[in-house]
Amino acid sequence: MAAPLRIQSDWAQVLRKDEGEAWLSCHPPGKPSLYGSLTCQGIGLDGIPEVTASEGFIVNEINKKSIHISCPKENASSKFLAPYTTFSRIHTKSITCLDISSGGGLGVSSSSDGSMKIWQASNGELRRVLEGHVFDVNCCRFFPSGLVVLSGGMDAQLKIWSAEDASCVATFKGHRGGILDTAIVDRGRNVVSGSRDGTARLWDCGRSACLGVLADCGSSINGVAVGAADNSINLGSPEQIPSEREVGTEAKMLLVAREDKKLQCLGLQSRQPVFLFIGSDAFNCCTFLSGFLLLAGTQDGNIYQLDVRSPRTPVQVIHRSGAPVLSLLNFRDGFIASQGDGSCFIVQQDLDYAVELTGADCDPVYKVATWEKQIYTCCRDGLLRRYQLSDL
């Protein structure tokens, strides 16, 4: 990764004013940072500002919502994208999690104000309030149908909700600590949860029953991910015949991001170990990119890309700042990452520059969700932001 470029979080508003100025910086690893500024020289007839950069920086292109900047000395280049729209009325406090339904019509989000809400993805209009967890809701996601929501809370409970009438249709009990992440297996007959109690569990949604403890590691499980395994990967065989209530677990891997600096991979059906990788700090989040490639992010800002077939040495380690990596999401032929310093960026194979999603000013961006060409983020500042990739 080239040296990261940073920009003033509200650059799009500031540069719409005549002589408006926004700061810029470039942070080459192991070298002094370079600082500069952008100045608006007036607004063109098309409503797009004419912007010049101070010495050492170049404005390659500018649109209403995006600006492409280079720092030739460090061979660095980034495209900054401002939010298309911001939803400020859904929650009053920090927003810890969000998801968008498979059809793109609805969003669900949870907040440190204790609430979980379903809203219209197009305009942020509130549709339903999901009430029933005691204490904070840590994670929420739609089932593939888009009509049902799965949530996990500090009350050690998993709940399933109808998005249509906000009723809680099932509650799963069994964890002894707060639930920090969930994953849905296939179409959702089974789900996986990871908890502060150090266990990952598999659940039967139809009977609200625990089908087994998949991992018991004695350390808080911060993130879980389920992915289909490439044929070349040996997932091992289960010691006991799986319950007939297990649906879609065969040929799947479970990834577990642990507080004790370990990233664990096992066969979902076999419960047998595939690998154990030790990182630089606590693992916060993880995701599969393919049947053998995966990503995991740590508390000290490392994004590890690993190949399950030879996991000892990372394919690459991306480090842009020391801020915690809070979410990772597979996206097109790359990924989207968000960090505790407010940065949120897209890395794609065929692009020689990163796309930076701007707007959060040093407040952690906890989660990212996508639907087609739209990207949604949630942040400690209590705002949900929607970015339009067509604005690039």
Rounded alpha-carbon distances, angstroms, from residue 246 to 114, 186, 202, 205: 33, 11, 9, 10
234 burial level (CB within 10 Å; 0-12, 13-18, 19+): exposed
- The pTM assigned to this predicted structure is 0.96
pLDDT (tens digit per residue) in 136-155:
999 999 999 999 999 999 99
Q: Is the pLDDT of residue 261 over 90?
A: yes
Name the pLDDT band for 30 (thresholds 50, 70, 90).
confident
Q: What is the mean pLDDT of residues 10-14?
A: 96
d(CA 263, CA 306): 10
- Residue 173 pLDDT: 97
Tell me: pLDDT of 3 over 80. no
For every residue of the chain, which 3-state class applies, written as one string? CCCCEEECCCHHHHCCCCCCEEEEEECCCCCCCEEEEEEEEEECCCCCEEEEECCCCEEEEECCCEEEEEEHHHCEEEEEECCCEEECCCCCCCEEEEEECCCCCEEEEEECCCCEEEEECCCCCEEEECCCCCCCEEEEEECCCCCEEEEEECCCCEEEEECCCCCEEEEECCCCCCEEEEEEECCCCEEEEEECCCEEEEEECCCCEEEEEEEECCCCEEEEEEEECCCCCCCCCCCCCCCCCCCCCCCEEEEEEECCCEEEEEECCCCCEEEEEECCCCEEEEEECCCCEEEEEECCCEEEEEECCCCCCCCEEEECCCCCEEEEEEECCEEEEEECCCCEEEEECCCCCEEEECCCCCCCEEEEEEECCEEEEEECCCCEEEEEHHHC
- Give the chain's mean pLDDT: 96
Q: How does residue 236 score in pLDDT terms, banded at 50, 70 and 90?
A: very high
From the CB of residue 254, how many other CB atoms can be counted at a distance below 10 Å?
A: 26
Q: Which pLDDT band holds residue 1 (cuts at 50, 70, 90)?
A: low
Distance CA 245, CA 209 (A): 10
The pLDDT of residue 351 is above 90: no
Q: Is the pLDDT of residue 247 over 70?
A: yes
Buried b (16+ CB within 10 A) or exposed e, 187-196: ebbbbbbbbb
Rounded average pLDDT over 220-224:
98
What's the pLDDT score for residue 113? Answer: 86
pLDDT score of 2 more than 90: no
- The residue-averaged pLDDT of 377-387 equals 98
Largest CA distance in the chain: 72
183, 224 contact by CB (below 8 A): yes
Going across the sheet that includes 262-267, the strands are: 221-228, 252-258, 262-267, 273-278
Q: What is the mean pLDDT of residues 74-97?
A: 96
For residue 267, what pLDDT is reported?
98
Q: How confident is the model at residue 392 (pLDDT cuts 50, 70, 90)?
A: low
Q: Would the pLDDT of 192 be above 60?
A: yes
Do the Cβ atoms of 282 and 258 come closer than 8 Å?
yes
Q: What is the pLDDT of residue 4?
A: 87
How large a percentage of the chain has pLDDT more than 90?
94
Band the pLDDT of 352: cuts 50, 70, 90: confident
- C-alpha 187/C-alpha 249 separation (Å) is 11
Q: Using one digit for the tens of pLDDT, what is the confidence trace for 107-137?
A: 999 999 889 999 999 999 999 999 999 989 9
Within 8 A by CB and 6+ apart from 323, the residues are: 301, 339, 340, 341, 343, 364
Q: Binning pLDDT at 50, 70 and 90, where does residue 260 land?
A: very high
Q: Percent of the chain beyond pLDDT 70?
A: 99
Other beta carbons less than 10 A from residue 216's beta carbon: 12
Each residue's pLDDT tens digit, 296-349: 999 999 999 999 999 999 999 999 999 999 999 999 989 999 999 999 999 988
